[in-house]
Copies of this chain bind each other. A is one copy, B any other.
Amino acid sequence: MSNLDIGNQMHAWARDLFPITRSITGEGVRHTLRYIQDLLPDLRIHGVPTGAEAFDWIIPDEWNVTDAFIANESGERLVDFRRSNLHLVSYSEPVDAWLEREQLETHLYSLPESPDAIPYVTSYYARRWGFCLTHRQRSALPSGRYHAVVRSELQPGVLNFADLILPGEQEEEILLSTYICHPSMGNNELSGPIVAVALARWLMTLPRRRYTYRIVFVPETIGAIVYLSRHWQEMKARTVAGFMLTCVGDERTYSYLPSRMGTTLADRVARHILDTSDCSYDTYSFLDRGSDERQYCSPLIDLPVVSIMRSKYGTYPEYHTSLDDLSFITPAGLSGGYEMNRRCLEALERNAFYAVTTYCEPKMDRRGLRSTVGGAPKMAASTRDLMNLLAYADGRTDLIDIANIIGRDVFKCAELATTLEEAGLLRRSGS
């Protein structure tokens, strides 16, 4: 399947998932996870009950909503959850009340600087209710009495999340993590889970996987904390690299957010793949973090997790508004986000430490690896690459670092290494 086909397929999944009212708990999350399970049959869906503890956190009540609106005295719905689930502040408590225009004000959220966007607002851990609307709409509300109705439930229930373990030849793991708690928005966040699904399906097609893959779908923050509270010890022991999948669907640019110290294998592979692509990208600091790397990279967990994104959360004007919609993410944008992360996984699969088997340079022409006419002003580029790889194959420098030294990409180096290994000139060494 071509990358564009994959992009189209991902966009079709996004269109299916877009209308669902997701939050950190509730039916919308379960609906979303079941849709993903249809695409990844081995996905395991888990739940932890309200009141359960996860490190410093406690699972809140489950929230579900059936309807919500603000109507005028004529009963006309001026702000209507059924038109956009962004109109309702997530985790709004139930209400059915008549308020004056001024009383209503403290329950309204809008963006004066982006007057046609409905903002995305949540209040998971403090009971309140509120409505989000465009600033244009808010400014046009006349004085008078309004009927505010939220038909929601906040009750003990379950927080859901899911994971998929794809076993590899080694116990060492690569982590992919994404979140499934945002309602109708495209780049942040539907792009994350659908690229995760596409990567998982690609991994499942591989004839062999060296690494074990752990692919995690959680509500952001609380879900990652719950997941880590159950799995951090094995993850800390096994994880060699991890990737947060978020904001991977638009076409504007690429972005790299390093791990806490910026020196892990995940950082090295991400920079190598970005640097050897023909795309420019923005490099952020870990201070610009904002997603579940906050948990994965926290000091006592300290996993090697980076993000390769398209437009980073918090940096584009459509972020966390109704303008981050199905037209902001595109098949080409999604396929770029998919491909850049896929190449990191492929690079890690092919990365290795190699050591030469011969003292001095081997006799290449005996093995058909070099022309027999010497003295020409320039050695063939392919022979030069082979010799360069041999020169640095000291068993302590991995293919990613050798690739950076010799000015080829890691895939080219892996090809060269295979040629040399088959010729008996290299052997795998170390981990």
Q: Which residues of A contact B (CB under 8 A)?
A: 55-58, 90, 119-126, 128, 221, 224-225, 228-229, 232, 260, 286-287, 289, 294-295, 297-302, 314, 319-320, 355-356, 358-363, 365-366, 372-378, 387-388, 390-395, 405-407
CB <8 Å contact, A391 and B298: yes
Interfacial chain B residues near A391, Cβ < 8 Å: 260, 286, 289, 294, 297-299
Whether A359 pairs with B298 at a CB distance below 8 angstroms is yes
- Assess whether A356 is in contact with B299, with CB atoms less than 8 Å apart: yes
CA distance A121 to B374 in the complex (A): 6
Interface of A is mostly: loop
Residues of B within 8 A of A124 (CB): 374
Residues of B within 8 A of A378 (CB): 314
Bound-complex Cα distance A128 to B319 (A): 70
Cα A281 to Cα B263 in complex, Å, equals: 32
Please state if A359 and B300 are interface contacts (CB–CB under 8 Å).
yes
Nearest B-chain residue to A319, judged by Cβ? B377
Contact (A299, B355) CB under 8 Å given A228-B360, A319-B377? yes
For A290, the closest partner residue in chain B by CB is: B379
| A56 near B358: Cβ-Cβ < 8 Å | yes
Cβ–Cβ contact A298 & B373, under 8 A = no
Docked-complex contact A287 and B388, CB < 8 angstroms: yes
List, in ascending order, chain B residues with CB within 8 A of A297's CB. Answer: 391
CA A71 – CA B393 in complex, angstroms? 50
Report how far A300 CA is from B55 CA in the complex, Å. 50
Return the contact of A360 from the options B55, B320, B356 (Cβ within 8 A).
Answer: B55
Contact A125 B372 (CB under 8 A): yes
With A299-B356, A300-B356, A392-B299 as given contacts, are A314 and B377 in contact (CB-CB < 8 Å)? yes
User: Is the pair B120, A375 in contact by a Cβ cutoff of 8 Å?
Assistant: yes
For residue A373, which residues in chain B have a CB less than 8 angstroms away from its CB?
121-123, 126, 128
B contact residues around A123 at 8 Å (CB): 372-374
Bound Cα distance A287, B389 (Å): 10
Contacts A126-B365, A286-B391, A298-B361 aside, 4 further interface pairs with beta carbons under 8 A come to A123-B373, A295-B360, A297-B391, A299-B394
Closest chain B CB from A161 CB (angstroms): 14
Given contacts A298-B359, A391-B286, contact A375 B125 (CB under 8 A): no
